[in-house]
Amino acid sequence: MPSRNGLILLLFCFLAAGAEPLLGNEITAVSILGLKRTKPHVAEQYVKKFLGRDAASLDLKEVEGAVLETGILEPVSVSIGDDPEGGGRLLQIELREKWSIIPFPLFFIGSGGDMGGGAFFMDANAFGVNDKMILGGLYRSSGWMVTAMYISTPDRDHVPGWSLRGSYAQEDRTGADQENNDIRRFSQESAAVSAGISYPLNEFFVPSLRASYDGRLLRHSDDPLRAPREDAHTISLSPELVLQKTVWDGYLSAQQNVSLAYIFTIGIDFPSSHALSFQAVYERSLIPGFKLGLKAGVLYDPDAEVLFESPPSAAQVDILPRNFAARNYAGGSFDIEKYIYKFSFGTLSLLASYQGVWSQGPVLGRRFDHGAAGSLRFYLSKLALPAIGVGVTYNVAAKYFQTNLSVGVSF
């Protein structure tokens, strides 16, 4: 049986042997390979949070998720090796840049004989610093529009992001009820410009402030219905707080985010108004490639005039017609998404949801609608677009069915 001194010596050797790997198993450096157009510091900004982490307990899927959060980079391989310049460990990440310069030729035929086309040009990695730029125009039988925007993404600590946007349009605008019957028709000319600034306090919490000008001029209409009585010129100030987090399970990303915004609209020879907007998303992967989600959206804008009523996206639902608009919303959905197949160029998934929404407006009054939605989504791994989706919705309360095509852009 070992003596007391022998036991102490054995314990000391055991602790010393155990302490050595712990001290040398810390991530002390990050190596990023595969960048061509993207500036190195842009990628480093997303993965530097892993410095100081214990290599043995580091989940490499978390590293892959951090890379995917850039929107412009795709992980090829992630591994851990010895740091050649120190006694710690090296996080090695090989990346592939997505196609970020994307032209969008468009052509469509909608319900009621509406048809048109146009073209957009997007650079999702402008100047190699993950900035977003888009220019484009669209012509349709009901009108035309041109738009331009530039969004600067914060790529260094203590550096704010900013955005500039502008658009001009002439259109025959239609307002619809839940069954897609016209309740308004009028023609308008609109011009809008806005500027915003955001300052990430950390990787999760981002406050921002946006200022905008919006002008709506009424034009002659051959067949008006409940048309507004006067033109509108407004200036809006909108502070917003966003709390966000994304988790990658190897197939699908799961988001948890909350946003709260206050909008103060100052009318120029036009009524002023106040509004509050709240949106939340909670998604959780049960197993890799299968996730559940809850979404909620509330808009309180009781003094909104006809020209500035909001679409159903304010309530995070899509069972209402595209031309539907209201002052106030409260809605939500329960989602189930399952990946179907993972290709080298993307992931195909199936999404099913059940949605409910309360709305209130000056013509339709208060109404509660509910219904089901389903879509086939394709998440692109080589193109700097989050997803392309083709889906259907059915509003049970209104007995209204519609199809939709969506192209997601992370702006």
Q: What is the per-residue pLDDT for 268?
A: 93
The tens place of each residue's pLDDT in the chain, 411 residues long, gives 444 343 333 333 333 444 444 447 899 999 999 999 999 999 999 999 999 999 999 999 899 999 998 999 999 999 999 988 877 999 999 999 999 998 878 776 655 556 778 899 999 999 999 999 999 999 988 899 999 999 998 888 888 999 999 999 999 999 999 999 999 999 999 999 999 999 998 888 999 999 999 999 999 988 899 999 899 999 999 999 999 988 888 899 999 999 999 999 999 989 999 999 999 999 999 999 999 999 999 999 999 999 999 999 999 999 999 899 999 999 999 999 999 998 877 899 999 999 999 999 999 999 999 999 999 999 888 877 777 888 999 999 999 999 887 766 544
- Concatenating the DSSP letter of every residue in 112-163 gives GG-EEEEEEEEEEEETTTTEEEEEEEEEETTEEEEEEEEEEPP-STT--EEE
3-class DSSP assignment, residue 314: helix
Q: What is the per-residue pLDDT for 12?
A: 35
Look at residues 137, 160, 159 and name the one whose alpha carbon lies nearest to residue 148.
137
Q: What is the pTM of this model?
A: 0.86
- What is the length of the chain? 411
Q: What is the per-residue pLDDT for 108?
A: 66
Rg of the chain, C-alpha, whole Å = 26
Tokens of 219: 């034009």
Tokens of 404: 């939709």
Q: What is the per-residue pLDDT for 293?
A: 97
3-class DSSP assignment, residue 235: strand
**How many whole angstroms separate alpha carbon 218 and alpha carbon 224?**
11
Q: What is the per-residue pLDDT for 110?
A: 55
**How many whole angstroms separate alpha carbon 311 and alpha carbon 357?**
12
Helix, strand, coil % over all residues of the chain, rounded to 5: 15, 60, 25
3-class DSSP assignment, residue 89: strand
The region, left, alpha or beta by phi > 0 then psi within -120 to 50, assigned to residue 399 is: left
**How many whole angstroms separate alpha carbon 184 and alpha carbon 177?**
9
